[in-house]
A and B are shown apart, each in its own frame.
Chain A
Amino acid sequence: DAGITQSPRHKVTETGTPVTLRCHQTENHRYMYWYRQDPGHGLRLIHYSYGVKDTDKGEVSDGYSVSRSKTEDFLLTLESATSSQTSVYFCAIGQQGWEQYFGPGTRLTVT
């Protein structure tokens, strides 16, 4: 998976609780991305980063925030998890915007 790890790999949480997912890379790539994957919707971009402390919103950013304090780590936070955020979350990295390498994914269930 191109030097990308995600943690945790699986998580079950209750509605209203905060959740943080971590993406860690060892490739020193500039760009990092968070996607969610749902049946019928494919992969949708939540947020992305184009450098340390430089982030921007994607297609489905409501209810999510991100932080990137160093090149290798990109955190995705659900401030107050809802059942609609049950999904599989993928982190991706890249040096150019179109060539992205994905991590193994985190399966999040919000009950």
Chain B
Amino acid sequence: GESVGLHLPTLSVQEGDNSIINCAYSNSASDYFIWYKQESGKGPQFIIDIRSNMDKRQGQRVTVLLNKTVKHLSLQIAATQPGDSAVYFCAEFLEETSGSRLTFGEGTQLTVNP
């Protein structure tokens, strides 16, 4: 079936470096793609979204890139800080007449080393 997944389950970076978290998706009909951050013991936190007709969107220290040709989504975090350590989920949103759906990937654990 349709799925959203992640290339790597874990990513370890040095503080101050840039981080890139990748995601592959399979449903080309999805309307939005979203990144969530989940810290230990907390609920997922919305980071940034991108509409399917866009290639790039920037937020505060984060950039999301969407490559529809290869069905690839990435989250770039600039100057990674210890507070960025968390699990990052990509999700895809599809709106259909039968109802809308947000489908989450498995998540990537980002560890920031001091």
CB B42 to nearest CB in A, in angstroms, measures: 6
Q: Give the number of residues in B that approach A within 8 Å (Cβ atoms).
A: 23
With A42-B89, A43-B89 already in contact, the answer to whether A98 and B43 are too (CB < 8 A) is no
Contacts of B101 in A (CB 8 A): 45, 58-59
Count residues on chain A whose CB falls below 8 Å from chain B CBs. 22
Contact across chains for A102 and B45 when beta carbons are under 8 A apart:
yes
Q: Could you tell me if B95 and A102 are in contact, using CB atoms closer than 8 angstroms?
A: no
| Residues of chain B within 8 A of A105, CB atoms compared | 41-43
Cross-interface CB contact of B49 among A42, A90, A99, cutoff 8 Å: A99
18 other contacts beyond A98-B34, A98-B91, with CB at 8 A cut-off?
A: A1-B42, A1-B43, A40-B106, A42-B104, A43-B44, A43-B104, A44-B104, A56-B99, A59-B101, A97-B100, A98-B31, A99-B34, A100-B46, A101-B46, A102-B45, A103-B43, A104-B42, A104-B43
